[in-house]
Chains A and B, each alone.
Chain A
Amino acid sequence: MRVSLFITCYNDTLFPETGRAVVKLLERLGVELEFHPRQTCCGQMHANTGFRAEAFSQAKRFVRLYQDTETVVIPSSSCVAMIRDQYPGLFAELGNEELRKQFAALLPRVFELSEFLVDRLKVEDVGAYFPHRVTYHASCHGVRALHLGDRPWKLMNKVRGMEQVPLANLDRCCGFGGTFSVKNAEVSSAMLAVKLQDIVATGAEFCTALDNSCLMHLGGAMHRQYAGMKTIHLAEILASTETSPAEGVA
């Protein structure tokens, strides 16, 4: 199966290790990967901040780049949610009929990583080994926009050596919200403080999620507060094996 990886702008810049883990994981599962060199951003930041025209130009760019692709995999729930929930409105408002058709044809072939593994590849045991205590943060977009449901747990339950610790108030927002975190920095920080209390209370070594944007927010606070925990994208856990552990994890 040929899959084109849309890594997303912030993963490309800030979290390349997540991208490397996705490559390692999918290639181990026999997927043939492509990477479109001209990819940039899905437009989520602009759309969510009210810059609709700019978001539209990025949405258009995404569709043009990927329209001939067999399958697109994106290791970021919020970017997939942007494409699924906001592109239709943008194209209806600003686009033309041809673009709308191209997008409608492409959309069923766009997958979030856990969707791709569980629904498309139909695999739950990806052969991972991660001997650590881990708690999972269900990101808002994963839960309420993509309705990922139990897919993350189907995957996590098969990771050997991993101890899962349930997180209280599982689906409560961490307070990131893109530019919300700077436009309403104080409220965002108050939400973050509450979330972090629940996460720290698990006593886990790692907090994982399917979205590095939440993890950037949580990880930034953990680092600031010497919380003694780290964040790690679930792709990195799933890519980890006995012989080739996750990057930066002893």
Chain B
Amino acid sequence: MSAPSKSRENILERVRAATKTVALPPAELAAAFASIPRDYIRRGGMTVTACHERFIERLREYDAEVVETTEEELPATIAAQLAGSGKHTFVAPAGLPAAWQAEGFEWKLDGGLSAAEIEKAEGVVTAAFCGVADSGTIVLHHSATEGRRVITLLPDWHLCVVYASQVVETLPEYFDRCGQTPGLATYISGPSATADIEMTRIKGVHGPRFLHVVLVRDSGQ
């Protein structure tokens, strides 16, 4: 509920008075919104292969590591990545497939882990909702396989599994795929970074310093 205040009525009154010559009646609002010119590129024109290559190229440009694999090879690929990380303790979101939780590592399954517990883990493995090639972006909607926001934030190393079928070329294509709008979403484009000191790009400030993406090709490809 809203905190009752006189300011609410005053501000809305002032806003309505300020826009009275241009504001539309509620019934016409949707039509006016629909008539906004949207001549930008909605669907990209790339082949599937080119689109995937663009995705990989743009991820790498912003310092993410990318490996490609197939569905069959996925558990082995994840295991190899984890081994290569030199890390031992990993967080897994509640719904992470068991096959992705490679043997030989310590797994903390998230069922409401405290920040302190997550902080102690060295890495995290998640799925994604979508990948956007144009900007090299990973989209998380924080489902059971993608995890709560905090688990992809505190550990220093994030491995994210993206299926080729989840990769779209343009940002509008992602929005078309959303269906129901997500209550929570995080878009990740490369690892945490800053350029606040003399515009020198430094990887890793507060978020994970290492972002690894495993792109899973369809078996036919």
Direct chain A–B contact by Cβ atoms under 8 Å:
no
Q: Which residues of B contact A (CB under 8 A)?
A: none
Q: Which residues of A contact B (CB under 8 A)?
A: none
